């Protein structure tokens, strides 16, 4: 008899292309090993309310491999350890209710697909006795311990395509085009999409920028006859000595919302260079649409590995890409850390070598 006969699967945090591919792989691999799967809707909310659950069979996941979003729904609010409802006693801790519901549902283990926040909650439940395996998800690619997360390749491909389109209009009008991409604490999307799209300047959270340095680079381009320039800026990029640009500050149960640095950079560049400048925010377009082939394959490998671990009774782990293998690493080693772009990363050094400026 396998140690696990009935598992729950949930998706938490912001969506990323490839979530459905993981769900599909989990359901198919589990059912083929004689394990039943229960889909839990809207992250851990599905474990607060049994009416927000449904059995998933291979038939239920047929055709979802190529779909963006998640058939289970998701939320980046509602941490059961600190539910954002104000009571006279402060925040409510629903975690015991989740554990009780988990047991009442006859579940033996959970597959939690999510980013840093969701994996942190998964780890807390593991410490409370729920057998958990985590699957890392984020387009930002900043989860510690895995070289890549599904969703990142799709976001980069979309952003590179957008930069290609902006090149032609920038050239036609002899303008500076500023493209704001996602990346709260790490510049992986900005760097990879910027290099793939041939950006002249890339601004990222790891390298605080100096406006004068950017202007110098753009003037050099003018001097050799290039009449347009492309600047890619991560939403989390900051001027040297400055702060991140926010749409909304953090409030109870909600993290801060970043955005607006593209407009700030564009406005300053127009003033300092005298060149017409426009900006575009790619925003959630980077999270939508069908996953690339790379992301479908990675998501499928993650889902398959998660079930293999559960079947062997290995819990408290996150599946991670460590080429050429998918490996389990302790959730305890992952939580609370962010994988930023190392300053000696070879792509960063190569980009500098070919003349890309980083504003430093």
- Residue whose entry in the numeric block shows the structure tokens 């009442």: 104
Q: Which is nearer to ligand F6P, 4 or 258 (CB)?
A: 258
Judge contact between 3 and 34, C-beta under 8 A. no
What's 85's DSSP letter? E
Residue 50 backbone dihedrals phi, psi, to 5 degrees: -60, -20
Stretch in the footprint of ligand F6P (CB under 6 A) among 56-64, 93-101, 176-184, 215-223:
176-184
Q: Does 17 bind ligand F6P (CB under 6 A)?
A: no
Residue 85 backbone dihedrals phi, psi, to 5 degrees: -120, 125
Residues 29-68 as x/- pattern, contact with ligand F6P by CB under 6 A: ----------------------------------------
Q: Does 14 bind ligand F6P (CB under 6 A)?
A: yes
Stretch in the footprint of ligand F6P (CB under 6 A) among 32-40, 100-108, 179-187, 199-207:
179-187
3 state DSSP class of 188: helix
Q: Which is nearer to ligand F6P, 37 or 258 (CB)?
A: 258
- Least distance in Å: CB of 138 to ligand F6P? 5
Stretch in the footprint of ligand F6P (CB under 6 A) among 103-111, 181-189, 332-340, 343-351:
181-189
Q: Can you tell me the distance from the alpha carbon of 279 to that of 266, in angstroms, rounded to the nearest whole number?
A: 6
Q: Can you tell me the distance from the alpha carbon of 53 to that of 42, in angstroms, rounded to the nearest whole number?
A: 9
β-sheet bridge partners, residue 234? 181
The catalytic residue among 15, 42, 45, 140 is 140
- Least distance in Å: CB of 14 to ligand F6P? 4
* Range 112-171, binding ligand F6P (CB under 6 A): 115, 138-140
Q: How far is CA 141 from the centre of its chain?
A: 6
Q: Can you tell me the distance from the alpha carbon of 144 to that of 281, in angstroms, rounded to the nearest whole number?
A: 27
The two tokens of residue 93 are: 């801790």
Stretch in the footprint of ligand F6P (CB under 6 A) among 32-40, 52-60, 128-136, 180-188:
180-188
Using alpha carbons, select from 65, 214, 42, 219 the residue that is nearest to residue 113: 42
Stretch in the footprint of ligand F6P (CB under 6 A) among 37-45, 182-190, 318-326, 332-340:
182-190
Q: Does 296 bind ligand F6P (CB under 6 A)?
A: no
* Range 244-283, binding ligand F6P (CB under 6 A): 257-258
Alpha-helical runs (H) found in 1-62: 19-32
The reply to whether 96 belongs to the active site is: no
Q: Which of 170, 182, 232, 357 binds ligand F6P (CB under 6 A)?
A: 182
Pairing of strands 277-281, 176-181: parallel
Q: For residue 3, is the peptide bond before it cis, meaning its omega torsion is within 30 degrees of 0?
A: no
Q: What residue is closest to ligand F6P based on CB?
A: 182
Q: Which of 33, 76, 120, 124 binds ligand F6P (CB under 6 A)?
A: 76
What's 56's DSSP letter? E
Q: Which is nearer to ligand F6P, 119 or 309 (CB)?
A: 119
Burial of 274 (0-12, 13-18, 19+ CB in 10 A): exposed
Q: Does 232 bind ligand F6P (CB under 6 A)?
A: no
Which residues carry out catalysis? Answer: 140
Binding site residues, ligand F6P, CB under 6 A: 14, 76, 115, 138-140, 182-184, 235, 257-258, 287
């Amino acid at each position: 008899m396998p140690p696990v006969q009935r598992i729950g699967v949930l998706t938490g945090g912001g969506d990323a292309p490839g979530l459905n591919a993981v769900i599909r792989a989990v359901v198919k691999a589990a059912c083929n090993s004689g394990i039943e799967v229960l889909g839990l809707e809207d992250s851990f909310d599905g474990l607060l309310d049994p009416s927000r659950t449904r059995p998933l069979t291979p038939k239920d996941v047929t055709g979802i491999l190529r779909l963006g979003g998640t058939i289970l729904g998701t939320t980046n609010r509602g941490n059961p350890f600190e539910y954002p409802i104000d009571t006279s006693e402060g925040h409510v801790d629903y975690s015991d209710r989740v554990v009780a519901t988990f047991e009442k549902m006859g579940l033996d283990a959970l597959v939690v697909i999510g980013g840093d926040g969701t994996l942190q909650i998964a780890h807390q439940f593991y410490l409370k006795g729920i057998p958990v395996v985590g699957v890392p998800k984020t387009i930002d690619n900043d989860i510690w311990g895995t070289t890549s997360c599904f969703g990142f390749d799709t976001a980069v491909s979309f952003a590179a395509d957008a930069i290609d389109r902006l090149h032609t209009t920038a050239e036609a009008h002899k303008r500076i085009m500023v493209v704001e991409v996602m990346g709260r604490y790490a510049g992986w999307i900005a760097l990879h999409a910027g290099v793939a799209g041939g950006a002249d300047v890339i601004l990222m959270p790891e390298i605080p920028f100096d406006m004068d340095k950017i202007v110098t680079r753009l003037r050099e381009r003018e001097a050799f006859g290039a009449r347009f320039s492309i600047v890619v800026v991560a939403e989390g990029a900051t001027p040297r000595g400055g702060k991140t640009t926010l749409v909304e500050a953090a409030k109870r149960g909600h993290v801060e919302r970043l955005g607006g640095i593209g407009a700030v950079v564009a406005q300053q560049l127009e003033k300092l260079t005298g060149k017409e400048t426009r900006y575009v925010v790619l925003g959630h377009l980077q999270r939508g649409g069908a996953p690339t082939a790379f992301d479908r394959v990675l998501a499928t490998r993650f889902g398959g590995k998660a079930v293999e671990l559960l079947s062997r009774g290995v819990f408290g782990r996150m599946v991670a890409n460590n080429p050429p293998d998918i490996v389990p690493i302790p959730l305890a080693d992952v939580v609370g850390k962010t994988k930023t772009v190392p300053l000696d990363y070879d792509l960063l050094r190569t980009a500098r070598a070919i003349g890309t400026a980083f504003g430093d």
